[in-house]
A and B are shown apart, each in its own frame.
Chain A
Amino acid sequence: MIVSKHLLGLAGVRREEISLILQTAQFFKEVLSRPIPKVPTLRGKTVVNLFFENSTRTRISFELAEKRLSADSVSFSASGSSVAKGETLLDTVRNLEAMKIDMIVIRHHASGAPHFLATMIDAGVINAGDGRHEHPTQALLDMMTLLDKFGTLEGLKVAIIGDVAHSRVARSNIHGLRAMGAKVALCGPATLLPRAPREAFGNDIEIFTNVDDAIRWADALNVLRLQLERQASGLLPSIREYANYFGVTRRRLEAAKRDVVIMHPGPINRGVELESDLADSEFSVILDQVTNGVAVRMAVLYLKSGGDLEVANGAA
């Protein structure tokens, strides 16, 4: 079923594979609720977490997933631009190649860096976020959270709100949600929407530049983190205006469906893209996302290292 040992993105990944990952994640989520939340599934396998860009949450989530699966894992963090150059990536990869490792989890500021890595090395490559391209495990955990809440993704209306143009979370979500039969809307100021979105992702994508319209339309809101430096680069007049015109607030939610759900990939700029109080409200599933993140990453690591769901169940 799992066709590639890599998870480079969700573009082109079929519904069956996503379903399998999500089902396997449900199984691991159950494991996580046990008194001893650990299985010997990846014992003897070595995973390297290569983080060329800061991301405490994603890194810890992967590290925990690896530990829960009893893998041997090491993490390498190199933030800052001096080491984030191509030479370093290639040198690092050549060194890793010389050690015996089974899988690499990579986060990199350059779109396509995991694809480059996958051509250079025998080990499986898991994309933990590349530039503004994809962040597949984030999208998978978002989908798992929506499934928990709504029971199905078929026909579900999900509005992705904010800086879609620069968002890898948005891209992976668009591919994953559409593969699973959900409807997707993109909402943000025109300067933060990507060029030719319908040609790129599908003619059925809804586009809103008015956040109230998106809220009225949606069953779930996936609110993206706004990089505050977008103002400096001329894409926004001011953060204050962004908060006023594109921020998701309780007042705006009055027009929403009663059981609307709010997601956010974190960390939140409270009061900018999302009103602080809403982040902790009954609408928010942000902490469920975090929990599901570990389970999803366990499922991905397990399946991509050659496991299948039946064996996982048997091992339980």
Chain B
Amino acid sequence: MSRSIISQPCPHLLLRGARVVDPGAGIDQTLDVLIEDGVIKQVAPQIPAPDNFEMINAAGLVLTPGWFDLHVHFREPGREDEETVLTGCAAALAGGFTGVCPMPNTSPATDKAEIVKSIIAQSRQTMVDVHPIAAATKGREGKEPTEIAELVDAGAVAFSDDGCSVRTAELVRRVMEYAGMYQKPLIEHAEDESLCLKGAMNEGVIATKLGLSGLPTIAEDIIVARDVLIAEYTGGRLHIAHISSKGAIELVRRAKAAGVQVTCEVTPHHFSLSHEAVIGFETNTKMNPPLRSPADVEAVIAGLQDGTIDAIATDHAPHSSEEKNVEYPAAPFGVIGLETAMGLIISRLVLTKKLSLSQAVAKVTVAPRRILNLPPAEIKAGQTANLTVFSIEKKWVVDKTKFYSKSRNTPFDGWQLAGKVFGVYHKGQWWASPDF
């Protein structure tokens, strides 16, 4: 049983004394934020508290635009036993996210306007904005493009056959051209399936030791190379999901330098773990793309630092414990990530000084909204208040039994992390984390 979110309407609020970090506006200083009727009225040092305003002392905390995860799996429709839109939104909020994009590999696939609309409708009662990503091809079968225009009208923000690559170069071209008319990106899961048959983990030294069949990095690199060339040719918009290999990062770096419209994201597990975590056959280390070599992890960090990697996304992939509690090759790919992302970003990137706080925050606020052509969530007067408040110092231990997600498949159970949500403001409501 998962936990439920208890938020409260809070139209008038004064958040006092937080370190306000808004990379889009170039702000990083201690400020008060005054919210009236859910809209930011004033951002300034030392705002006197008006009557009838709630006040929260946020001294020592960080206040940023609401965090945004452009890659999650909510399993609705089809596998509501693993996650629903509602439980997924609860997990998102508990992780500090006010916006998420569920991927279309549901069953049936999210390839029709009605499914997009119903996912959005489901989410309306929550504090989280849900922007579905629709399938690029009907049934994600890689044969015919979906009704892209109609899906855009229904609310789809991007197109992807995530779970696998768009099968042919011809389809990649057509989807990019068509979705490009609406400034919507094609989000590619880069994996050449002919190189990945029955693979269970990264091909390399650990797979050789463990006798597990491999998913080679070249399978990722080849698709990135293919799609970058098509993006260059069509002028379309390409976003590479969960990039994980050194080669693929280098391809994106070169394409960006050449002016191609390409962006990419990385998951917290790909910058926190290498394939060495698979030793011991723990199935919560099985994901796709797989955990790569330490050299790939280094390349990921370098890519985050120099901006080649634009965004951080969780690829939150819930699976039932029955499905994960099997021998390694039989387990499904995927781990959940919404409730551990902040802790990993702060602990592994910010406190280690690999990224500045502002750089890290940009990867989960400004960048994902920009990639999807959504309006920014800025902290300035006149903007709708959409805020995440957290501590970068508070230490906590990951306890999977306390998750809001319906699933428990995390490789980080028991890890001590710093970086914990204090509360979230969105849609005129305040949610205070009971775990802070």
Contacts and interface: CB of A to CB of B under 8 A. Distances in A.
A68 interface: no
Contacts of B331: 86
Contacts of B207: 195
A195 B208 contact: yes
B327 A112 contact: yes
Interface string B191-209: 0000000001001111111
Contacts of B205: 195-196, 199-200
B210 interface: yes
A90 B321 CA distance: 12
A110 B211 CA distance: 9
Contacts of A113: 327
B204 A195 contact: yes
A133 interface: yes
Contacts of A133: 210-212
B208 A110 contact: no
A110 B209 contact: no
Nearest to B212: A111
A89 B214 contact: no
B325 A111 contact: no
A168 interface: yes
B56 interface: no
B330 interface: yes
A134 to B, nearest CB: 7
Contact of A112 (B208, B214, B281): B281
Interface string A76-113: 00000000011101100000000000000000101111
Contacts, number: 73
Nearest to A194: B208
A130 B330 CA distance: 13
Interface in B318-370: 322, 325-331
A111 B326 contact: no
A196 B328 contact: no
Interface residues of B, number: 23
Nearest to A164: B208
A89 B329 CA distance: 13
A110 B204 CA distance: 18
B284 to A, nearest CB: 13
B328 A87 contact: no
A174 to B, nearest CB: 10
Contacts of A111: 200, 210-212, 281, 327-329
Contacts of B259: none
Given A87-B322, A116-B281, A168 B327 contact: no
Contacts of B328: 110-112, 116
B434 interface: no
B327 A116 contact: yes
Given A110-B328, A116-B326, A171 B211 contact: yes
A27 to B, nearest CB: 31
Interface string A105-125: 000101111011000000000
B280 interface: yes
Given A115-B280, A115-B281, A108 B208 contact: no
A189 interface: no
A131 interface: yes
A195 B203 contact: yes
Nearest to B216: A195
Contacts of B327: 86, 89, 108, 110-113, 116
A307 interface: no
B383 to A, nearest CB: 50
A11 interface: yes
Interface string B272-313: 000000001100000000000000000000000000000000
A108 B326 CA distance: 12
Among B211, B280, B281, B330, the one with the most A-chain Cβ atoms within 10 Å of its Cβ is B211
Contacts of B209: 11, 171, 200-201
B214 A110 contact: no
A194 B322 CA distance: 32
Contacts of B214: 195
Contacts of B212: 111-112, 131-133
A6 to B, nearest CB: 13
A195 B212 CA distance: 11
Contacts of B213: 132
Contacts of A194: 208
A197 interface: yes
B331 to A, nearest CB: 7
B281 A86 contact: no
Given A86-B331, A195-B204, A112 B325 contact: no
B330 A110 contact: yes
Nearest to B194: A234
A68 B212 CA distance: 35
A309 to B, nearest CB: 30
A171 B212 CA distance: 12
A89 B211 contact: no
A116 B281 CA distance: 7
B409 to A, nearest CB: 14
Nearest to A86: B326
16 contacts: A87-B326, A111-B328, A112-B281, A112-B329, A116-B326, A130-B211, A131-B211, A132-B213, A133-B212, A195-B203, A195-B204, A195-B208, A197-B208, A200-B205, A200-B209, A201-B208
For the complex of A and B, the 9 pairs showing the least CB-CB separation, nearest first, are A86-B326, A133-B211, A112-B281, A110-B327, A86-B330, A200-B208, A132-B211, A113-B327, A111-B211
Interface of A: 11, 85-87, 89-90, 108, 110-113, 115-116, 130-134, 168, 171, 194-197, 199-201
Given A131-B329, A200-B205, A200-B209, 13 more contacts: A85-B330, A86-B331, A90-B326, A110-B329, A112-B327, A112-B328, A116-B326, A132-B213, A134-B211, A171-B209, A195-B204, A195-B207, A195-B214
Interface of B: 200, 203-214, 280-281, 322, 325-331
